[in-house]
Amino acid sequence: MKKRFISCLLLLSLSLGNAASAAQLHALIKDQNGKPLADAVVLATPQDNKNIVLQKRHEMDQIDKEFIPHVKVVTAGSMVHFPNKDNIRHHVYSFSPAKVFELPLYSGASALPVLFDKSGPVVLGCNIHDWMLGYIYVADTPYFGKSTEDGKVLISNMPAGEYTVRVWHPDMKATEQSTLRTVTLEAAKDADMEWQLAVKPVFKIPRASGSSSAAYR
């Protein structure tokens, strides 16, 4: 009993020590006009390539004929569920290179989860509701974040070391490769980075109204 107690204390002290020495990366993402840009994904990959990618269970909701959230980040190897919380059926699909799949017409949570095992962006659509558009970014690193409405991203609990950092946004004109930067993080210190991305005008397909089809109601 005493040995177990001592072991627990050692594990706790190691965890607290790691947390105290961990670094944080603050990023600010703006558009070409200097306005904060939401839904930008920032990914930091350790250059020693010893990171462990955690695989988790995620959900991409369908509410009021929209994908919620608009952009979701998961790690490679994760399972994603697509619950339909509307009172009509949806037909979710993607033809993206990172993941091609199709969930035929269903409602509720009856659709099987989808395994996302290849990194990169995945564009989601619905065969019934053309305006439904969503994105899943499959990350190859556990160190990532997504910008909020103020354009800010915080990535915490990062071990000290050198990282390659890149940015992705569904509407950006550039490629991820062009956003590549490196940063060296020191233990228990914060680092600040900033990007200004040129984004394309967003054309939104109008939501159908007054259709005789029950699927559009």
pLDDT digits (tens, 9 = 90+) for 145-187: 999 999 999 999 999 999 999 999 999 999 999 999 999 999 9
pTM: 0.86
pLDDT of 16-65, one tens digit each? 345 557 999 999 999 999 999 999 999 999 998 766 677 789 999 999 99
Is the CATH number of domain 22-46+145-201 2.60.40.1120?
yes
- Shared fold status for 22-46+145-201 and 52-140: yes
**Any idea where the domains of the chain sit in the sequence?**
22-46+145-201, 52-140
Separation CA 152–CA 3 (nearest Å) = 45
Res. 113: pLDDT tops 60: yes
Percent of the chain with pLDDT over 90: 77
Is the CATH number of domain 52-140 2.40.50.100?
no
Percent of the chain with pLDDT over 70: 85
Burial class (CB in 10 A: 0-12, 13-18, 19+), 101: middle
- CB neighbours of residue 173 within 10 Å: 11
